[in-house]
Amino acid sequence: MSVDTAPAPLSSLSEEEELFRQTVRDFAESEVKPYVEEMDEASKMRPELIEKCFELGLMGIEVPEQYGGAGGSIFLATLAIEELARVDASTAIYVDVHNTLVNNAILKWGTPEQHARWFPRMTVDLLGAFALSEPASGSDAFALETRAVQDGDDWLLTGRKFWITSGAEAGIFIIFANVDPSKGYKGITAFVVEKDFPGFSIGKREKKLGIRASSTVELILEDCRVPSANVLGPVGMGYKISIETLNEGRIGIGAQMIGVAQGALDAAVKYVQERKQFGKAIAEFQGVQFQLADMAVQLEAARLLVYNAARMKDAGIPFVREAAMAKLFASEAANMITGLAVELFGGYGYSREYPVEKFYRDAKIGVIYEGTSNMQRQTIAKILLKS
């Protein structure tokens, strides 16, 4: 009996989309899955897996073909992130951040010259990271203290960035700094900083509960010299760049969370058919069946919200509310589903012998990063009140 609980209505996907999904799934199963436990224990991603993501074209999904990208859609990126997270959320977040945050911001706000300078490398082997958060500015992202002072044709950046995903492996960073604190958030500006720029260094690496193979680091800027040609978008428009970029990023996190939830549900469905108590498989108990049904309903609802937000973005329809809804619901559903999966495994669910405890740990970050659940609720409510 098949235990694959992946969504059946593939009619909602085009032939190209379904082929792409299957390609990523095959890669995740054959090349990522054998190393998931090892990477989690070591808190380190295998470099060759990132290289293979580039080789498969997963690091330039929305980048135009003229720069080496696939010229695809956010929906395709969503499928890739979901399928990778179904096996390993850490691998998925490298693909997510690079596509939905870094590539997306440069694609929308970069000049043609910047596109031609960075994208041919960013689709081949140059990994990107997005650096907004600081110790004093988490949900209040515009309270950032990193400063930028103009020095001739350059800018000097000074400050520290915290909780930067993919920071240990990235070679290029979108960093937000304030060029004029007297203007408040209207002084915030986006800069593209390369790893070898003078005054730039990587600080401590965080020890995390989940997505352990994904690096989360501190960035240190000490009069980091950045050419004016590396300013992304107009000076003083960094607040708008960050907000609009994170809106797409939330779709990516939603995709990561439905992937994590799917992986946990797949494992639970398989286990309850094998585990016997009182002379029969626990899958035959109605109480277990009801829990599985609740998990499946939550997952499918989350998937539809995520897919809908992605389709709206691709169609050019305003999607901010829908992205917030997708991220909110998918992350909270993933926490519920992975928690129930742990319970269905009983004592084994609490051990590392089976994969559900990792899915459970990986799910927790979904309600925190790229906007906490309460920040998503605030966004949804504000839009409702304006309508």
Q: Give me the active site residues, please.
A: 370
Residue 249 CB-half CA count within 13 A: 24
Contacts of 369 (CB under 8 A, 6+ apart): 163, 165, 253
Phi, psi at 251, each rounded to 5°: -65, -40
Instruction: Assess contact for 299 and 262: CB atoms under 8 A.
Output: yes
Gap between the Cα atoms of 15 and 167, Å rounded: 36
Q: What is the DSSP letter of 28?
A: I
Instruction: Assess contact for 185 and 141: CB atoms under 8 A.
Output: no
Residue 213 CB-half CA count within 13 A: 24
Residue with tokens 């992350």: 331
Instruction: Assess contact for 88 and 39: CB atoms under 8 A.
Output: yes
> What is the signed CA dihedral for 10, 14, 18, 21, rounded to 10 degrees?
-110
DSSP code string of 126-184: --EEEE--BTTBSSSGGG---EEEEETTEEEEEEEEEEEETTTT-SEEEEEEES-GGGG
Helices in 227-285 by DSSP H: which ranges? 238-274
Q: Give 202's strand partners.
A: 219
Helices in the chain by DSSP H: which ranges? 15-27, 36-42, 47-55, 74-85, 89-96, 104-109, 112-122, 238-274, 286-314, 320-344, 356-364, 373-386
Query: Which whole-number Å values give the CA distances from 341 to 75, 179, 355, in the listed order?
Result: 28, 48, 10
Assigned token pair, 176: 């937000």
